[in-house]
Every structure is written in C-alpha cells, then in structure tokens.
Amino acid sequence: MTDPVVLTDVLFLLFSVTAIVFSLLVVVMKNPIHSSISLVLSFLPIAAIYVLFHAPFVAVIQILVYAGAIMVLFTFVIMMVDLSEKEYTLHKGKIYKLLSFLIMGGFLLMVPYMVTRFLPETISEPKESVVLSHFTSKKEAHEFGSTKNIGKLIFGKPVINDPVQANDNTLKSMQIVSFELASILIMVAIVGAMILARTRKKEER
Amino acid sequence: MNITTLNGILPILILTGVGLLVLLVEAFIERDRERRFAFILSLAGIIATLVSLFSQLVHHDADLLLFGGALIVDHTGLAFSIIICLGALLVLILSHRHVTRIHRNAGEFYSLILFATLGMHALTISNDMMTFFVSLEVMSVAVYILAGVNRKSLKSNESALKYLILGAFSTAFLLLGIAFVYGATGQMGFMEIKEALLSEANAPFQSVGILGLILIMVGFIFKIGAFPFQQWVPDVYEGAPSIVTAFMATCVKTAAFAILLRGLFTFFQADESGFLMSALTVITVLTMIFGNFMALIQSNIKRLIAYSGIAHTGYILLAILAALSDPAKPDITPILFYLLVYTLMTVGAFAVLIGASRGGEEVETFEDIRGLGYKHKLLGLFMAFFFFSLAGIPSTAGFMGKFFIFKAAISKELYALAVIGILTAVVSVYYYLKIVVYLYLKEENRRYEKYSIQWNYLLASFLTFLLVLFLGIFPQFGFKLLK
Amino acid sequence: MFTLQNSIILGLILFSIGAYGVLTRRNLLVVLMSLEIMFNAVNLIVLAFNYFRFYQQGKELGHYFVLLVIAVAAAEAAVGLAILVTIYRNRRNVDSDELTEMKG
C-alpha cells in the first residue's frame, strides 16, 4: 500500500506541472483556438487540485462553468469572428512590451522570496487525526466543502417548521448580501451582452 | 424581516426594482412613448432613492449593522451615496433626448445607469470583503457596458474593451490581495480582519496580511486613476460617449473614494510599518503634478478634463492624508465637500459640452468651442463659470473646496504637500482659462449664428450652476448637510 | 511536497503567467483568456489557504468566495466577448487593420 501522504504529493506535483504547462501554452500559442483548448486543459488539473484541497463542490463548479460555459463562449466567438481575415489586436508599443517583461520577471523572481519570507514555517497538510479531533463527528469532517455546508453558509442554518426563525437566520448571514448582489451582477452582464452584441435587421446596412 | 433592515436596504431595493421595470418598459410600451416613460420612471426611482437616503441621514443616530455586519449604514456611507445619487440624477436629466443619439433603446441605457448606481451605493455601505468585491463588480461591469453603449462607434467600443481589460486586470490584483488577507486572518468582515491582524495569535501571518492590503491598495489606485496606473483614464474618457464620461468622472470616482476611505480608516492602524502611508504620500504628490502638467499639453477637451480629473484625484488624496493624520477624530468633511463640488462642476461642464454639440458630432477640440459665448450667451456663461470653478477662482465653490483641503493639510502640518498642491492648482488655472478664452475668441469676418439648445441641458446646467454658486458663497450649508 | 508554500507558489506562478499574457499578447481573445488564468490563480490561493489553515476550524468561507469569483469572471468574460463581437462588426465595415484609434 502506498502511503496516502506520498500519493497526494505525487498527484499535486503532477497536476501543478500540467496546469503550468497548459497555462503557458495559452499565452504562447499563436492560434487562438489552440489557446482556448489549452485553457480548458489547464482548468482540469486546477479542478483536480481543488479536490485535493477538500473542495469538491468548487471543483465541480470549476469544471461546469469554465470548461462548460466559458470555454464554449470563447470557442463560439472564435468561430464567429473569423480570425483568418484580420488580427484583432490591441495596439501596444515596444517600450510597453519591454516594461511589462521587466515587471513580470521581477514579480516571478519575487515569488519564492516572498513566500519563504512571509510564511515563516512550512505548513503541510492537516493530519486526519488532528482534523477529526476538531469536528464533532467523522461525518461532519467528510462533509467539509459540500453543497449542503455552503448552502448553510449562505442562507444560515436551516430550521424545520419555523419560517420566522429560518428567516431570521438568513438575515443574520453575512453572505446573503453578496450572493444577491452576484445575481444582479449576472443580470447586468446578460443585459449588457445582449445590448452590445445583438443585431437588428433594420440596422444592417 | 424587521423594519430597520428594510429601511437600511431600501435604496438598494428601489434601485433594483426600478432598474428591472425600466428594462421591461421596452417590451410592453410602443417605441414612441417608451423613451419618455422610461425617463420618467428612472427619474422617479433616483429621486425616491435620494429621498430615502436623506431620511436615513436625518434620522441617523447610530451606525447600523445589517446582515450580520455585511452592510454598515453609517454617516460617511450615506453622505457618499447622496453625492453619487445626485450625480446620477443630473446625468439622467442630461441624457434625456440625447440618449437615442448614442443608443437606440433609452430604457436599456437608463437601467444600466440605475444598476451602476445600485452597485455604487452597495459599495459605499459595504463592510466585508465579499460584499465590497461584488458591488464593485456590479458597478464596473455596468460602466464597461455603458462605455461601449454606442455600438456603431468604433471608438466607443474600443474604449469599453480597454476599460474592461485593464479593469479586470486591476481586479485580479485586488482579488490576490483579498486572498492574502483571507489567508492571514480567515475573516472577510472588515472589523474582524482588523482585529485578527492586530491580535497576537496571528502574528506570524501579519506580514501576509499587510502584503494583501498593499495589493488591494494597488487595485484601488487603478480604480481612482491615481499616478502609476492612470494611463487608461484619458483613453477611456475620450472614447466613451460624453454622457457616460460624465458619469464615470463623477459617480464612479466618488464611489471608489468612499470605499478607499472606509478601507484606509479601518486598516491603516494594522500597518505598523507605515508603508501604506508613505506610499500614499508619494502617490498623492505624483498624481497632482502629473495630472496638471499633462493637462497643459492637451488639445482635446475630453482628454483635458480626464487629466484634470487625475489632478483632482490628487487633491482628494491630499485631503484623505490630512484626515488620516488624526485618526482619533478624523475630519472627512473637506473630502465630502470637495467631491460634492467636483461632481457638480464636472457634470455641469459636460452638460454644456453636450448641449453645445451639433448634429451628432461631439465637441472635441478647442476649435469646436471657439466663439461659443457669442452663439449662445447663457451656455457660454455657464461654461465659463464651471471652468472658473474647476480652476478654483475665488468666490466659486471650486475655490472653497480647494481652500478647505489646503487648510486641513496645513493644520495637520503637511506643509510640503500643501505647497505642492497650491502650486499645481496655480498651473491648472492656465489650461482652464485657455478654454474660457476660446469661448470668447472671435474669428474675424465671421458672424455667429445664435442657436437654441434643448431644455434638459439648460436645466441640468442651470441646476448645477445654482448649486455651485450657492456652495461657493455659503459653503457652511454644504458642511452642515454633510456633517 | 503538498504544502501551503508550494500551493501558493503554484498560484503565484499561474498569476504571473496570466499577467504576462495580458500585458504582452496582442490578440484580444488571448488577453481575455489570460485574465481567466489570473482569476483561477487567485482561486487556487484562496482554497489553499482555506485548506491548510482553516480546515480544522471547519471554515468554508473561502469556498464561497471562490464561487463568487467564478461568477464574476464569467460575467466579465461574457461582456468582454460581446464587446469584441461589436468591434468585429464595426471593423468589418470600416476595414482597418488594427486598433489604432487610441494610443497605447
């Protein structure tokens, strides 16, 4: 039997290397279609790392939203915009490019320094025995990051047969405001995308 | 749902409801009546919001925490929201009739303005990282769309895309900052984060938290358009339709300052190294100098206003520094007063600029306004007045605003900053006066036809004119209102 | 290997790659994709902190935050792509090769 700790190490290494490689490919590839495919391929290992972080619900959403929706959106636009005709580009000067190289290089060099300096001791994975001692039951520990728990986080603890109490719990929840605002945000985005991208027969001249 | 909570979120509810209604108007009412109906509806919505905000401010006795502390209805937030709603109201009045020139469906435009205002209000009263971030995005996304609302103009599209890309880029830094702060403290509420950063138990992670705060600051400096990240401002302001530029220059900036102020007042004590303060000082100086000197060499009026807007950002930062140097009893009235006056002056200037544009062409260069003072006497007078006020000529509200800021800076012994501020303000007189000179510059052998402009431009500019005049002569009324 | 430091280093590397793409690539579609990479890197860092530091406390705030970031990223991508399509339509009409209307 493999030691579970070693297994997570190997998996983490594997997924992070693939994530980095595919992200690099997104940035480097000449053809936008290749970029968009690399984008999806870089999202998959990241979702897998989320699972290692005990965040299964987020991992699923990551795949559904990014690989399912955003990727489709990108591919659709690539098909629509017919890139063979012209390059759709933003004008950028040479000095600008050099500057950004310097900034990014500096940032990358700073990364290990920052992390080792700012995070004093190595923090490794929480041991299962330690974790279990903090939770009241094993079931509760395994439910970490589940849909149920996140729902509780947003809407407060559910109360059966007492709507007043349930309402009160929701009103005490800090997360409900941002949740509702996010729904408004998505509506604004839908309206905006419709305003900007639709065509009318009359307008086409 | 109890009545206090309901009262606290009433502005948000009104804005959401009216925004949705205005969107629906298009579906049910025929085109000819749609525009007027949508206009009246959204006007009523904004006025109702203003009334609700005022009543909250009047009956305000203690800070109200809603939803477990996610929202804080306090005096500062309400005052900022009132300034924002006032700006939005003026922009709405301005956009009547004009809007169909840049976008076919008036209702969509109005609803986006309402949703952006909603985001701004939520931003000013937000009290935790997530509410703050999402409301910031509601505001930003609505404004990205507004910047590109003139679909047929390539310039408008490009400014929208540029704004979106750079805005999202800065948001990413902001998010990285929030991630570090969360990692250091495990909290999202502002108050909880502050406590955790100051507590002993979290000492090993304190530096991570500070790093996060600095990254959040970087995101903010971008949003307010201060020095190292100001390059997008003129491009976006120039490309966007004038009416949207007026909205961006006033309301968006006010909202960003509101949350910046809240963040700084909450967190800067947690930063024991004093890095945030010294960085802010450097940024203030450079913003004032850069904005004013770049404005000197502009030939496009919208770009000029953009650069001068950067300079005004510098003055407000100066007022913030003055307020921060006395954390026990911070005096933020100079900031509020300046923002109020700046909003009025800028919207007024844009009202005249939009009113003066003929045949769908927007006023852009100095040549376009040559002799405007002869073509339409009242318009020329208003415009001259607004630019005098922006320049800070005595007896205008702009002067009073600058005066209070420099007074605050001097009383807090920030002499060097105050001197730089005054010197750059003197420089700014030159380019503002240049516009006024062009207004009354006559070409030889040419007669100027008089022309009429529509009532709504006159109304908006007249309202702002009155307010700016009033605040210039009796600034204490403004102070009383905001105190 | 599977430590908080390494997870954050991974996140920061991804963030830098994304930022590099935004700053240097000229193709607007790829710029938007690079923005998505940056948002993802942030999500990774949040979840790493959440797991390594707050798992014992049973705290899932980070998960919820990541969900919000995903929603925001999707909204921004949708609006960005819509603007791109508009530019494409206008460009097809005016027939210019590059966005030179405004300086860098």
Distance CA A178, CA A195 (A): 25
Q: How far is CA A182 from CA A151, A178, B137, in A?
A: 15, 6, 9
Low-confidence winner among A153-167, B201-215, B399-413, C67-81 (lowest mean pLDDT): A153-167
Q: Is residue C72 part of a domain?
A: yes
How high is the pLDDT of residue A202?
54
Tens-digit pLDDT profile for residues B101-135: 777 777 888 999 999 999 999 999 999 899 999 99
Nearest to C40 among A46, A57, A194 (CB): A46
Cα distance from N-terminal residue to C-terminal residue, chain C: 43
Question: Helical H runs in B297-413?
Answer: 301-324, 333-356, 372-375, 377-391, 397-411
Residues from chain C contacting residue A43 (CB–CB below 8 Å): 40
Measured between alpha carbons, how far is B23 from B41 in angstroms, rounded to an integer?
Answer: 11
C103 occurs within a structural domain:
no
Task: Confirm whether B434 is domain-assigned.
Answer: yes
For chain A, list residues with pLDDT below 70.
Answer: 1-5, 82-97, 99-100, 103, 108-122, 124-125, 127-136, 200-205
Which residues is B73 bridged to in the sheet?
Answer: B64
* Contact residues for A12 (Cβ-Cβ < 8 A; gap 6+): A49, A52, C1, C2, C6, C7
Nearest to C71 by CA among B348, B79, A178: A178
Using an 8 Å CB-CB cutoff, list chain A residues near C80: none
Q: C96 pLDDT band (50/70/90 cuts)?
A: very low
Q: Is residue B359 part of a domain?
A: yes
A77 or B480: whose pLDDT is higher?
Answer: A77
Q: Which pLDDT does position B386 carry in this prediction? A: 87
Give the mean pLDDT of B460-476. Answer: 82
Closest residue to A175, CB basis, from C5, C55, C64? C64
| pLDDT score at C103 | 41
Residue ranges per domain, chain A? 1-82
Q: d(Cα A62, Cα A56) in Å, to the nearest integer?
A: 10
Listed in order, strand segments (DSSP E) in chain C are: none
Interface test with B, best of C50, C102, C103 (most B CBs within 10 A): C102
Domain interval for residue C85? 4-98
Total of domains in chain B: 1
Residue type, A54: H
Q: How far is it between the farthest Cα atoms of chain C?
A: 60
Give the span between the Cα atoms of A135 and A128, in whole angstroms.
11
- Residue matched to tokens 């201060």: B226
CATH number, position C69: 1.10.287.3510
CB contact under 8 A, A118 and B208: yes
The distance of Cα B178 from the centroid of its chain, to the nearest Å, equals 24
Dihedral sign (CA B227, B215, B237, B305): negative
- pLDDT at residue B233 is higher than 90: no
Chain B contact set for A178 (CB, 8 A): 70, 128, 130-131, 133-134
Domain that holds residue B428: 274-483
Q: Which of B200-204, B322-326, C84-88 has the lowest mean pLDDT?
A: B200-204
Q: Which residues pair with B66 in a beta bridge?
A: B71
Q: What pLDDT was estimated at residue B447?
A: 60
d(CA C69, CA C47): 12
Question: pTM of the predicted model, to two decimals?
Answer: 0.91
Of C18, C46, C76, which is closest to B164 when you measure between CB atoms?
A: C76
**Does the beta-carbon distance from A174 to B67 stay under 8 Å?**
yes
Whether B330 maps to a domain, the answer reads yes
The reply to whether A99 touches chain B by the CB within 8 Å rule is no
Optimal mutation site among A127, A184, A196, interface C, most CBs of chain C within 10 A: A196
Query: Is C104 inside a domain boundary?
Result: no
H or E segment and range at residue B460: helix B455-473
Chain A: partners with 3+ C-beta pairs within 8 Å: B, C
* A119, A174, A185: residue with CB nearest B128: A174
Least confident among B125-129, B329-333, B343-347: B329-333
* B267-289 pLDDT tens trace: 877 766 777 888 888 989 988 88
Domain membership flag for residue B209: no
pLDDT at A114: 66
Residue B365: phi and psi, rounded to 5, are -100, 175
- Tokens at B67, concatenated: 């939803």
pLDDT class of B141 with cuts at 50, 70, 90: very high
CB B336 within 8 A of CB B79: yes
Q: Is the pLDDT reported for residue C68 higher than 90? A: yes
- Which residues is A90 bridged to in the sheet? C99
Q: Is residue B455 part of a domain?
A: yes
For chain B, percent of residues with pLDDT exceeding 70: 95
Write out pLDDT tens, residues B32-85: 777 788 888 999 999 999 999 988 888 877 788 888 888 888 888 899 999 999
- State the Cα–Cα distance between residues B201 and A135, nearest whole angstrom: 21
Residue B332 DSSP label: -
- Rounded CA gap, C10 and C6, in Å? 6
On chain C, the residues whose CB falls within 8 A of the CB of A88 are: 27-29, 84, 87-88, 91, 99
Cross-chain Cβ contact B141/C61 below 8 Å: no
Residues of A in contact with B151 (CB under 8 A): 195-196
Q: Rounded to whole angstroms, how far apart are CA atoms B346 and B110?
A: 20
Among B27, B49, B34, smallest CA distance to B114 is for B49
Name the DSSP class of B73: E
Interface of C with A in 2-61 (CB under 8 A): 2-10, 12-14, 16-21, 23-34, 36-37, 40, 43-44, 47-48, 50-53, 55-58, 60-61
Instruction: Spell out which residues of chain C touch residue B181, defining contact as CB-CB under 8 Å.
Output: none
Q: In the prediction, which pLDDT does C97 show?
A: 43
Is the model more confident about B467 or about B370? Answer: B467
Backbone angles phi, psi at B128, to 5 degrees: -140, 160
Residue C70 has a pLDDT of: 93
Q: Please identify among residues 133-172 of chain A the ones whose CB lies closer than 8 Å to any CB of chain C.
A: 134-135, 140-141, 144-145, 149-150, 153-154
- Answer yes or no: is B31 within a domain: no
Count of domains forming chain C? 1
Model confidence at C94: pLDDT above 50: no
Instruction: Give the residue-averaged pLDDT of B429-458.
Output: 75
Residue B80: inside a domain: no
pLDDT digits 0-9 by tens, C31-61: 899 999 999 999 999 999 998 888 877 788 8
Establish if C86 touches chain B: CB-CB under 8 angstroms: yes
How far, in Å, CA of A195 to CA of B147, rounded?
Answer: 12
Residue-averaged pLDDT of chain C = 83
CB contact under 8 A, B141 and A181: no
Both tokens of B440, joined, read: 């009354």
CATH architecture, range A1-82: Up-down Bundle (1.20)
In a domain, residue C66? The reply is yes
Predicted local confidence at residue B360, as pLDDT: 59
B59: number of Cβ within 10 Å: 8
**Residue C10 counted as domain residue:** yes
The angle formed by the CA atoms of residues A141, A144 and A145, to the nearest 5 degrees, is: 170
pLDDT digits (tens, 9 = 90+) for B376-394: 778 888 888 888 888 888 8
